[in-house]
Structure 1
Amino acid sequence: MLHKVLMDTVGSQAARLLSSEHGLPVADVEKQLKAMLQSALSRLDVVSREEFETQQTVLLRTRERLEALEKRVAELESRP
């Protein structure tokens, strides 16, 4: 969804600027800019917000488990 909003916004704004400066048809410029943006975004190695938040939760749980294990090991090592 962000990709579409970004493409629409940037595409339409750039198309208006280019068409007013160079006399190009807005629809043609906007179409070409959207295609270029889509191509650039598809090459990026990104994850969705949902996937990021899921992985963040997994990492937090893993960190908590690691800390508990480290504490347990320290307790066991301190025994005579």
Structure 2
Amino acid sequence: MLDPKTLEDIGNKMSSLLANSPAKDFEKNAKAVVSGLLAKLDLVTREEFDIQAQVLARTREKLKELEARVEALEKARAGQ
């Protein structure tokens, strides 16, 4: 099994080789294309998603409370 230092050295050598080759240009272009495609999809970040999930949970809880109040008021009115 290779030790982490050896793997790191190999990775550094590969990175330096790729930095001086057309593969680096390809990587830059590919990242730009993927970024453009993702932007068109109108995706949200995980943080934005989590915030909206929390808002939805609070809204559902409030709705349950209001439904219970309406039901209690309807029962009170029916009992009159």
TM over 0.5: yes
1:46 lines up with 2:43 in the alignment: yes
1:63 matched to 2:55? The reply is no
Larger radius of gyration: 2
Question: How many residues of Structure 1 are paired with residues of Structure 2 in the alignment?
Answer: 58
One-letter amino acid matched to 2:56: L
Gaps of 5+ in 2: 1-21
Cα displacement (A) at 1:32: 2.3
**Which structure 1 residue ranges, 5 or more long, are not aligned?**
1-24
TM-score by length of 2: 0.61
Amino acid at match of 1:31: K
Following superposition, the deviation at residue 49 of structure 1 comes to 0.9
How far off is 1:26 after superposition?
A: 1.6
CA drift of 1:37 comes to: 1.0
Displacement of 1:35: 2.0
- Residue 27 of structure 1, CA deviation: 2.4
Higher relative contact order (CA 8 A, sep 6+): 1
Task: Give percent identity, aligned residues only.
Answer: 50
Normalising to structure 1: TM-score of the pair? 0.61
Give the equivalent residue in structure 2 for 1:5.
Answer: none
Aligned positions of 1:1-80 closer than 5 A: 25-79=22-76, 80=79
